Structure 1
Amino acid sequence: MARRWLWPLRGQPYFEGLALAAGLSLSLGVLSLLMLGLGLLPGAWLRPVTVLPIPWLGLAVSAWLERSQWVDALRAGLPAEWRQHRRTYALAWWLGLVGVGGLIVIAINAISYPFYRSDLLNRYGPQARELFSAGHVPQAMIGYPPGMPMLYAFAFFAAGAVNDHMAGMIIVAYAAAMLGAVWLVARLFAGQARLAVVFALSAPLFVDWATSGYVDVPEGVYRGLALAFAYFWLERGDKRFAILVGVMCGLALWMKQSSLALLPSLAVMPVLRLWKTDRSNRARELGQTGLMAAALLAVALPWYGRSFLLGGPGSLFVSANPLDVQGADHSPSLLLVFWERRNLWGWPLALTVLPGLLISVWLLIRRPQASRSPSLN
């Protein structure tokens, strides 16, 4: 269904990658939100019989809506098109194989080890087990959003028991979506994305977090896609992209409270749209801003509103671990964090990320407005 929603971009070189990353991440996000709805109903509705059919129903609806496109693709000889694409973009295909190989390594690590990081052992894992055993969202579960614990609980339902190895496959799916988001953002802002995925996989921090199940990877997926859809909204002024910006930011908040940092950026976007729009269209722009805000609230408000009602304002913001605060490094050198922590980010990123950011900004500024995004016009 993501392909249908993104139809204005059909034919662009990045369309398939965008549809795949957006479709995968939206499917997981909507699944967790539907589980939240079931978990908030009176009784115990979070059970395999109610939860496990959800993805299959989604696939059935999507296949029915896209049935004509599948028929057309088969008639046109889809394998022949793939072979032609492979010959035309040989380097991209080889780099894609590198990405697939990296995901295979992450998947093997994820299914080989149970949860072992502190956040998984102290927060996400216990929450997922509680959801699995209780069959509903306990009243005491407030504050930190259980977006990922919901999905881990889904994996437990699929396995028929608490199974950290099965739950690890959820984060592997998000790791794949993250690589897609990296490719997309690099393609949009730099015009080239062949090495972006390889650089991301070269970062020990990404591989570590994708293996251990840290929630920062799913949150990063939604942030990256929110950035991409914000770009499309600014360029095209289409309300569907405004809605998708709100949805992606809402899902980022549903994954982790630190995405509250996105709200100032969202406040700037309508100003940018109004700045480049004449007065006759300002009502339309304000309407699109309202749609963006409504989409964000529709996704994030159920959990944050519930936490506020049950726990007061203090439940909206979870304080950091005192040990983490005490050991935090506030030195100015961390402004160049990719270089300062190159042991975490890896040498390829450490050497290229800052020059790459500066060059990308320079290219974005110096290009004339008409050709600022050649792939969009």
Structure 2
Amino acid sequence: MPDKPIIGITMGDPASIGPEIAIKALLNQSIYDSCKPLLVGDAVVFDAIIKRLSLNASINIIKNVSEARFEFGVIDVFDLYNIEISQFNFGEISAAAGEAAFQSVKKVIELALAGDIDATVTGPINKKSINEAGHHYAGHTEIYAYLTGTRKYAMLLVEDNLKVIHVSTHVSLRQACDLVKKDRILEVVDLLHNGLISLGETNLKIGIAGLNPHAGDSGLFGTEEELEILPAIEEARRRGFDVDGPVPPDTLFAKAATGAYGGVVAMYHDQGHIPFKLTGFQWDAVKQQMKSVKGVNITMGLPIIRTSVDHGTAFEIAGKGVASADAMILAIESAVQLSKYRKQATS
């Protein structure tokens, strides 16, 4: 399998649905047809999931990537030996689980920076568990940025026609408004443009959201559009980007979902996440649980490739066998596409 990229996949929080969706994703032959996947985390947790759910798979514990077999049905696990299984319970927030989750992220980054793997995919982590373990980060994006020494980065969400990048993410709404600045908007336009190309997107038209209702309505409902967003749009056009805006957010995402834009710029976390999850998440009102969760989170601007599921840890269903692996499969597929593009671009 000389041309297939090696994809390192973290377990996420071991007490979450992360280990389950990772195993379930690797029980699809199509994953092995397109790449060489290996899990990074604690083998005892993956083994517990396989036994608990009676899954048709076995574990191959490795200490070096060169030991991986990449054989369907035999799941390679880069074992970090952080979890004491006798003291472990699915669905519980703990510092021990947070430490194990953080170490799996740290290791997969190290493997990618060393060139041992071609791309990284992350399972869901719990911010409280991570912080209880003494690692004070707002999320995966910030961990990756710090450990790779990256200053200019952004979160890009991908689901079918909707591709959303954010000016700011894990900050308060008050801070988010203050972070709407011309230079940052130009930065994420450039990151989004590059992301669309690397994902194979042919529609490179970018829609840029306003911050305020009706995109400020000529200053009646706020001045950020006139002072920061519109100047950024004009400069982006001068630089050759095909951009539209500022578009009122309640209109922008309706148009984007039908393919009017290759991608859109959201001004803050929930402005982009709410329409994105309305597109990709399906709630079963009878069973009171998600029946399908789709969507990929890509960190743009890093020296390595990082994709992720765009959903949480779902502790309430951890270890019960009902978690959907849809988003994990899509995250792996996106990592494969990005690694192929990067290889072509550097060859």
TM over 0.5: no
Query: Is the radius of gyration larger for structure 1 or structure 2?
Result: 1
User: Normalized per residue, which structure has more strand?
Assistant: 2
TM-score, reference length from structure 2: 0.29
TM-score (ref. length: structure 1):
0.27
Structure with the higher helix share, 1 or 2: 1
Name which structure has the greater RCO, CA cutoff 8 Å, separation 6+: 2
